[in-house]
Structure 1
Amino acid sequence: MNIRLFSYFIKLIIKSRMEYRGAFMIGAVGQILGYAANYLVIWLLLQNFDTINGWNWTEIAFLYSLNILTYAIGASFTYSPMVGLDQTIINGDFDKYLTKPLSPFTYYLASLFNIGYIAHIVISVFVLLWSISQVDMGWTAVKIIYLFLAVISGSFLQAAALVVIGSLSFTFLRVQYLFSILFKIKEFIAYPISIYGTLLQLILTWIIPLAMINYYPSLYLFDESILTNKLLGIVALVIGPLAFYLSYKLWMRGANKYQGAGG
């Protein structure tokens, strides 16, 4: 499936959702209020402690917003397809994605694109821009380009995590509990991972590299003069696309072995 056809699918989905604008707006407002409450909790926490391991409110707001923004972009394409894949396989509905002269992966993602994440994008971009205006990062053209690339890489990494779990549906069928575990683990990157022990930092950096989504890009932007920040910041730009490619290969491997609802 080429980009033009992929975009056409998404356009059709957006049109169908806009047929029920009232329900869509209510859902969007609800999500915005929900994440606003999360920001409020962090803000209240910082009122008592001023900083968390040297990170103040605006810096943590930037960190948290980068996480939400990249999740919203990545999940728009992958959350609904991957969370629903096990049931799609069990019901035998996955067969239709294999009978078209299209890539089953992109066809499946395009057909279940979720426009509802626009609410996440709105609030995260708003707070991200506010925090950028409050934090003295010494913005340069390089840093602006870096932030743009970090958002892209982080979105790929967020999507990759969902695709990896979704791909396990071809083998184990029931994998819903793994998504719950993923979201619990993701709560760790709502704050600087430097507040955790060395072992957990290593896990979040190299084994389940969720810290590459927002923590290391933030360190690079706040102070790239430190060599470690610079090196890990660069790694963060590469690991997202690489992780997504590997997750795609894993998903396709499962799809190629798929033999129907009974096997």
Structure 2
Amino acid sequence: MKLFFVFFKYHIKERMEYRSAFIVGVCAQTLAYAANYLVVWMLMQKFGAINGWSWPEVAFLYSIGLFVYAIGASFTFVQMQSLEEMVRDGTFDIILIKPRNPFYYFVTSTFNNGYIAHLLLSGTILVWSLSQLKIEWNLLKVIYFCLNIASGSLVIAGLLTIIGSLTFRVIRLQFLFRLFNRLREFISYPISIYSLFIQILLVFIIPLAFVNFVPSSFILAKEFQYDGNITYILSPFIGPILFYIAYLFWMSNLNRYQGAGG
């Protein structure tokens, strides 16, 4: 962790050298996601509710998804996406000569603090939605909420790590990152509105439902058709398990890496 904070300090210093560009970037991302919120709000004004979910509940769901994505992606999205070019050019070899675990060094040395816009916007809307919802909070729900924020972040990081690890075999796979972003759009709304196939995909195959829908359903006391109690209990553990599997998969593929042109 000491190494991470050293990198983090230098990343901040680097961004502050171009302060105007950093501020413009934050504002641009904030406006882009604010527009997404506006689209959801307009839909809710048109239909009133989506499968029993009101606007504050959907805002709560969407905000958790964006907040969790920002945490997980700040360590993995740009890193795994840039891995393709690093492997192709041979610059990834620099990582391998460092006296640290290559995965840990890679994700911490290229930490992306540009996701601050996502955190600020989603955090603000999350607080607003909580003020509008009459949630009966207790110690269990508070702990459950915090654990699922961490677990959801690891789900995002794990899925991106799995995609990135394939670079050592395939090299060119930018389309998978685009596919991931398309799939992530499904959890902007309650997944119960989709067909059975999409629901099974998001719960059992690519577990994006555990990023926000499952914990939101528990906290908001919504019905969940897939053996809800067991799913709720498993939710805080899905992220750590998936991320550990992703890490092992990344390291396994790294062992097959033979250098640029290998």
TM-score by length of 2: 0.96
Deviates more, 1:15-24 or 1:220-229: 220-229
- Classify 1:118/1:29 alpha carbon distance in 2 versus 1 (closer, same or farther; 3 Å): same
5+ residue gaps, structure 2, are: none
Contact 1:224 1:230 in 2 (8 A): no
What is the distance in 1 between the residues matched to 2:233 and 2:5? 30
Q: Find the counterpart in structure 2 of residue 243 from structure 1.
A: 242
Residue from 191, 196, 201 that aligns with 2:199:
201
Q: CA deviation at 1:225?
A: 9.1
8 Å CA contact 1:156–1:241 kept in 2: the answer is: yes
Distance 2:174 2:3 in 1: 30
On the 8 A contact 2:87/2:168 being kept in 1, the answer is yes
CA distance change for structure 1 residues 35 and 224 in 2, over 3 Å: closer, same or farther?
closer
Give the superposition deviation at 1:226. Answer: 7.7
1:155 aligns to what? 153
2:261 is aligned with what amino acid? G
Report the CA distance between 1:163 and its aligned residue. Answer: 0.6
1:232 corresponds to which residue? 231
Identical positions, percent: 48
1:77 to 57, 75, 78: 75
Q: Which residue of 1 aligns with 2:162?
A: 164
Displacement after TM superposition at 1:11 (Å)? 1.7
**Distance in 2 between the 1:42 and 1:185 partners?**
17
Can you list the C-alpha shifts for 1:180-216, whole angstroms capped at 9, x where unaligned?
Answer: 0111111111100100122221111000110011000
1:137: how far off? Answer: 1.4
1:231 Cα deviation (Å)? 2.5
Question: Aligned to 2:111, what secondary structure does the other structure show?
Answer: coil
User: Residue 211 of structure 2: which of 209, 213, 217 is its match?
Assistant: 213
1:224 Cα deviation after fit: 7.5
1:80–1:114 CA contact under 8 A, matched in 2: yes
The answer to whether the aligner puts 1:139 opposite 2:159 as a matched pair is no
Change (3 A) 1:224 1:201: closer
Query: Conserved in 2, the CA contact under 8 Å of 1:58 and 1:134?
Result: yes
> What does residue 95 of structure 2 align with?
97
Per-residue deviation at 1:234? 2.0
The CA deviation at 1:95 is 0.4
Kindly tell me the number of residue pairs found equivalent between the two proteins: 261
Counterparts of 1:225 and 1:75, CA distance in 2: 29
**DSSP-derived class of the 2:33 partner:** helix
1:53-100 per-residue CA deviation (whole Å, 9 max, x = no partner) reads 000100000100011001000011111110000110000001010011
SS in 2 for 1:76: helix
- Tell me which residue corresponds to 1:53: 51
CA RMSD in angstroms comes to: 1.4
Q: Give the aligned residue type for 2:211.
A: I
Deviates more, 1:26-35 or 1:219-228: 219-228
After superposition, residues 39-50 of structure 1 pair within 5 angstroms as: 39-50=37-48
> SS of the residue aligned with 1:93?
coil
Q: Is the 8 A contact 2:217 2:223 kept in 1?
A: no
Point out the more displaced range, 69-78 or 215-224: 215-224
In the other structure, the counterpart of 2:182 is 184
Distance 1:43 1:153, change over 3 A: same
Pick from 166, 172, 180 the counterpart of residue 174 of structure 1: 172
Distance 1:208 1:81 in 2: 21
Aligned in 2, Cα 1:262/1:231: closer, same or farther, shift over 3 Å? Answer: same
Q: Displacement, 1:260?
A: 0.7
Structure 1 residue runs of 5 or longer lacking an equivalent are none
Contact 2:217 2:224 in 1 (8 A): no
Flag the 1:44–1:226 CA change in 2: closer, same or farther, 3 A. closer
- Residue of structure 1 in register with 2:110 after alignment: 112
The answer to whether structure 1 residue 14 and structure 2 residue 29 are counterparts is no
